[in-house]
């Protein structure tokens, strides 16, 4: 009886021990610690977010189809300007030339890339009814008028005194020429039709008086050339000729260059 009673009292403890000692089912087992995996000794260091494969980073972007060029309407050029009215001073200058008997024709405006220009050029054939130009000369009107007045008013008394006969023609080397001054980059007065180079004078008897070949200083021809050169300084702002420099050894250079205080340069 005592033994049976002892068994009854020990039975709960025996069952409890058996419960703990029996194996657990696989799905109830505690997770076993995983074995350590050796790390590679070389290779890229992963970032905190993990590496991304290049294949995953590559994104194929389709090339857009080019748009057809936009259709543009042809640009309409503005209508050509009608030539403006000639300035009053140019009109007055031409009237004065006509009164003096100057033979001239209008020349188209001159405007060259180098800066040479004459807004209202003229082509002069004769300085008066009695004096021809050889060859024709392209000049601005102011220069043409100064020449015409000089040969109409100033020259005749000189020819009567020293040559005993009138001048019938003037041969020139240059009038309008697009060029710079000798030895400089500054444009010459010739570039504006504002200068005139006289090579010789033809007299009524056919004699040609060459500026470069100055005759005996006591002759009437020599005195005329000197008197002409002196008289020209004033009506013309610049007068150069033989003896001034090598560039003017064979002609008279006359121009209307404007200087400070309206000064003259005659040499």
pLDDT for the residue 184: 84
pLDDT for the residue 174: 96
pLDDT for the residue 10: 57
pLDDT averaged over every residue in the chain? 81
Q: Where along the chain do its domains lie? A: 101-266
Q: Report d(CA 196, CA 219) in Å as an integer.
A: 26
**For 2-24, how does the pLDDT look when each residue is reduced to its tens digit (9 = 90+)?**
454 554 555 555 555 555 555 55
Q: Which long-range contacts (CB under 8 A, 24 or more apart) does 12-19 make?
A: none
**For 110-132, how does the pLDDT look when each residue is reduced to its tens digit (9 = 90+)?**
999 999 999 999 999 999 999 99
| pLDDT over 90 (residue 30) | no
pTM of the full structure: 0.68
Exposed, middle or buried: residue 82 (CB in 10 Å: 0-12, 13-18, 19+)?
Answer: exposed
| pLDDT over 50 (residue 76) | no
| Banded pLDDT at 107 (limits 50, 70, 90) | very high
- As a whole number, mean pLDDT of residues 219-230 equals 95
């Amino acid at each position: 009886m005592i033994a049976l009673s002892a068994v009854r009292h020990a039975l709960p403890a025996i069952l409890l021990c058996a419960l703990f000692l029996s194996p657990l089912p696989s799905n109830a087992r505690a997770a076993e610690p995983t074995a350590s995996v050796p790390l590679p000794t070389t290779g890229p260091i992963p970032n905190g977010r993990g590496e991304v494969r290049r294949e995953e980073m590559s994104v194929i972007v389709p090339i857009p189809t080019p748009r057809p060029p936009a259709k543009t309407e042809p640009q309409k050029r503005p209508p050509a300007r009608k030539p403006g009215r000639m300035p009053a001073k140019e009109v007055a200058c031409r009237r004065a030339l006509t009164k003096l008997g100057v033979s001239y024709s209008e020349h188209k405006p001159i405007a060259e890339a180098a800066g040479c220009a004459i807004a209202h050029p003229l082509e002069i054939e004769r300085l008066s009814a009695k004096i021809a130009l050889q060859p024709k000369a392209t000049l601005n009107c102011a220069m043409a008028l100064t020449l015409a007045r000089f040969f109409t008013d100033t020259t005749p008394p000189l020819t009567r005194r020293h040559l005993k006969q009138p001048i019938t023609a003037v041969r020139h080397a240059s009038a309008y020429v697009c060029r710079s001054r000798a030895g400089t980059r500054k444009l010459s007065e010739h570039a504006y039709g504002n200068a005139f180079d006289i090579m010789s004078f033809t007299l009524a008897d056919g004699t040609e008086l060459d500026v470069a070949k100055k005759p005996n200083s006591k002759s009437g021809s020599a005195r005329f050339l000197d008197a002409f050169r002196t008289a020209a300084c004033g009506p013309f702002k610049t007068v150069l000729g033989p003896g001034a420099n090598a560039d003017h050894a064979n002609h008279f250079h006359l121009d209307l260059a404007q200087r400070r205080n309206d000064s003259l340069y005659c040499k």
